[in-house]
Chains A and B, each alone.
Chain A
């Protein structure tokens, strides 16, 4: 009994203090719907010559950024939005040239906000405009905690900007109606999905295409249909090494090698198999049948870059708060 206790205490101390020897594991703090993706990526990575154990933690992308700022010892952050990595940069956890450390602005794959409706699409939902109609209930996660939710806001705004030719009053009216149609804002993308599937809330779920296709595959095409809107918003999923943590743990090489793997053809194949659109053109071409054509606008084209989005839209009292009245 005493021995057991002693070893238990030792295990706790080890687990809670920085390991001084070369670590054999790293922690990937990731967004909510990437549970299956990174399980598959990690398995594929383990099948290579890598000996490292990659641990996973999943929650809303912004909630994960907060956890890292509060001390979650994540070696790598695989988020779904640049603004969440920027929070880590502001907190001194990630160097500000993180985007140039990996190819393609450090985004191995991408997706976009898309729709999931119940079989037969009873409410006839085809495009963003239908979401603001009276009597339609929309589910998407809380934009305050989830990058997924913020992309939905940006995509809806991008559509409205085209639709109403930039008339700000009309855009805000549309967005206010859209947000008023949301009965519940879950804190993470997966919780929003279970609200829609398990709790049968809402007529349409707005989430990444990666999730809509995943749900249709997992829960059955006889129950759900994926609907792609006329236009959506390019959602590149950035990855970064958390410098402050890897420097303290001595795990920089492990973290770098793991993130590099995500950009290799194998890593890209796994992403495509889990419905994340790969950046690698060869892999993308091979999986073209999975991913329908869609017109995506970029943050630069629609909003003039992430810095502007952060200060104009997502800051306290910004444009998001104006339409997010039920928060």
Chain B
């Protein structure tokens, strides 16, 4: 429904309350990041960003996102197709298993990977003699990032595709389109905003993941330190300004994420 301008004093009070809360709890933290990052001037700010450790952390974080986001978009779309276009036994279980990583503590996500690929783990002792080292490498970071963001795209697409139904696709098939043509020309245009929306959420989580990554990273400076780990490391090095400079890059990404989300919401809902 379309809201109306506030009429009574009570409703104006409610709106004011909402703004006060948002100001204290949301806007001030955001402002603080940039205010602290820029406190010693732009020169010091860029010096902190271009410090090799931080620069590499930015690189690693971006690369991880570039790998993880497309994979989870692809798999998320496949999952949503499977769950919304067919009925099969075990469907509920499948959906529950996909949802699990979102409900789990990120530390647990890291722990399960350590127990799988660590040298004392399930597969570690088999892989190690083959020269395949996964723990404490960027690959481990990619794997846990895939894990923690596995549900995000599917979660956006499943309700959307369920609501849209299958008529368009069935029509395309009856007109002689093959499966891929149907997907490219009918399904994808229908779900593209949901897909992008899910990708934006996935990206935000991948770039910001801390708990799971801190278990599997080994925090090698300039190698396996992602941006959130770098922020923590600089904080512990007594380098508060550098820490906030690194944090500001992530905050900037967060703001962009919000802008894209807000723009997309009009498309998804409308």
Contacts and interface: CB of A to CB of B under 8 A. Distances in A.
Interface of A: 4-5, 8-9, 11-13, 15-18, 27, 35-36, 55-59, 67, 69-73, 190-191, 194, 197, 218-219, 248
A90 B217 CA distance: 24
Nearest to B220: A57
Interface stretch (B27-35, B37-45, B132-140, B200-208): B132-140
Nearest to B140: A16
Given A12-B139, A73-B136, A56 B236 contact: no
Contacts of A18: 131, 133
Interface in B199-245: 218-223, 235-238
Contact of B67 (A5, A69, A194): A5
8 contacts: A5-B66, A8-B66, A12-B67, A18-B131, A27-B223, A57-B219, A73-B137, A248-B131
B133 A73 contact: yes
A17 B124 contact: no
B63 interface: yes
B119 interface: yes
Given A57-B219, A190-B236, A218-B238, A8 B63 contact: yes
Given A71-B136, A72-B136, 13 more contacts: A5-B66, A11-B63, A16-B137, A16-B138, A35-B236, A35-B237, A70-B119, A71-B134, A72-B218, A73-B136, A190-B237, A191-B236, A218-B238
Nearest to B235: A194
B64 to A, nearest CB: 9
Interface in B12-69: 63, 66-67
Most interface-central of B124, B134, B138, B140 (chain A CB within 10 A): B138
B72 to A, nearest CB: 14
A58 B219 CA distance: 7
Interface string B125-165: 00010011111111110100000000000000000000000
Given A71-B118, A71-B119, A12 B138 contact: yes
Closest 10 CB pairs of A and B: A16-B137, A16-B139, A70-B118, A71-B135, A57-B220, A72-B136, A8-B63, A72-B218, A56-B221, A71-B119
B128 A71 contact: yes
Interface of B: 63, 66-67, 70, 114, 117-121, 124, 128, 131-140, 142, 218-223, 235-238
Nearest to B127: A71
A55 B133 contact: no
Nearest to B132: A17
A16 B67 contact: no
B232 to A, nearest CB: 10
A4 B220 contact: no
B160 to A, nearest CB: 25
Nearest to B136: A72
A66 B223 CA distance: 19
Nearest to A219: B238
A194 B221 CA distance: 20
Given A8-B66, A71-B118, A71-B119, A55 B238 contact: no
A17 B133 contact: yes
A60 to B, nearest CB: 12
Contacts of A57: 218-221
Given A69-B119, A72-B136, A9 B67 contact: yes
A67 B136 contact: yes
A49 to B, nearest CB: 22
A250 B210 CA distance: 33
A69 B139 contact: no
A8 B67 contact: yes
Most interface-central of B118, B140, B142, B221 (chain A CB within 10 A): B221
Given A72-B218, A73-B136, A55 B237 contact: no
A248 B119 CA distance: 15
B131 A55 contact: no
Contact of A59 (B219, B223, B237): B219
Contacts of A58: 219, 221
Given A12-B63, A191-B236, A218-B238, A55 B222 contact: yes
Contacts of A8: 63, 66-67
A15 B223 contact: yes
B237 A16 contact: no
Contacts of A67: 136, 218
A71 B221 contact: no
Nearest to B65: A8
B134 A16 contact: yes
B118 A4 contact: no
Contacts of B131: 17-18, 248
B231 to A, nearest CB: 14
Contacts of A11: 63, 138
A116 to B, nearest CB: 14
A106 to B, nearest CB: 23
Contact of A69 (B66, B117, B120, B220): B120
Contacts of A16: 133-134, 137-140
Contacts of A218: 238
Most interface-central of A12, A58, A59, A71 (chain B CB within 10 A): A71
